Structure 1
Amino acid sequence: METTIMAITIDPRSAHAPQIQTILTKHGCIITTRLGLHEVSETSCSEVGLIILHIHSSLDEVKVLEKELLEVNDVKVKYMTL
């Protein structure tokens, strides 16, 4: 098993969040920590989303997750294995 940190950007966030949520739920057993970030102010809510994942699984499983995420328009994925 490997430890992987994955960063996912979504823009526009509101258009693709449901699809991303479905994919992350499907792979939930390999995700040990999930942190979602976007800027919020009193007058607006950013359309650019960032999700950071801490994953504990084989590299093959990480690549499957990456492939599914990249099938969603306007999504970028980067990861590093520790």
Structure 2
Amino acid sequence: MYTIMAIKLSPRNKIAPTVQEILTRYGCIIKVRLGLHEASVDACSASGLILLELLGDEKNQIIKLTEELNSLEYVTAKLLEI
């Protein structure tokens, strides 16, 4: 089973440092992290998406991480188990 979290940040630049701080605290349960945002030579998107693969057996930590992220303005975190 895979435990995947999708985190949407908008505006990305305003909230990213706080999200980074939270992710660092939960770093031991994060197996894979991928950050996505639109970027070009002329512009950088105001919104971003972070995808995480989490250690599925750490349910309490995953719940705490999700709640902490969702408590922030400009952040939405969703879990998917497949």
TM-score (norm 2): 0.92
Name the residue aligned to 2:58.
58
Instruction: Point out where structure 1 has 5 or more consecutive residues left out of the alignment.
Output: none
- Alpha-carbon distance in structure 2 between the residues aligned to 1:25 and 1:3: 21
Aligned to 1:16: 15
Alpha-carbon distance in structure 2 between the residues aligned to 1:58 and 1:25: 16
Moved over 3 A (4+): none
Code of the aligned partner of 2:81: T
CA contact (8 A) 2:8 2:77 kept: yes
Superposition map of 1:5-44 within 5 A: 5-44=4-43
User: Which AA in structure 2 matches 1:36?
Assistant: G
Q: How many residue pairs were aligned?
A: 81
The question of whether the paired residues in 1 share the 8 Å contact of 2:4 and 2:79 is answered with yes
RMSD: 1.2
Shift of 1:58: 2.2
1:80 positional shift: 1.1
**Which structure shows the bigger proportion of residues in strand conformation?**
1
Deviation, 1:19, is 0.2
Letter in 1 for 2:66: E
Q: Distance in 2 between matches of 1:76 and 1:42?
A: 28
In the alignment, is residue 77 of structure 1 matched against residue 80 of structure 2? no
Sequence identity (%): 43
Structure 2 gaps of 5+ residues are none
SS at match of 2:50: strand
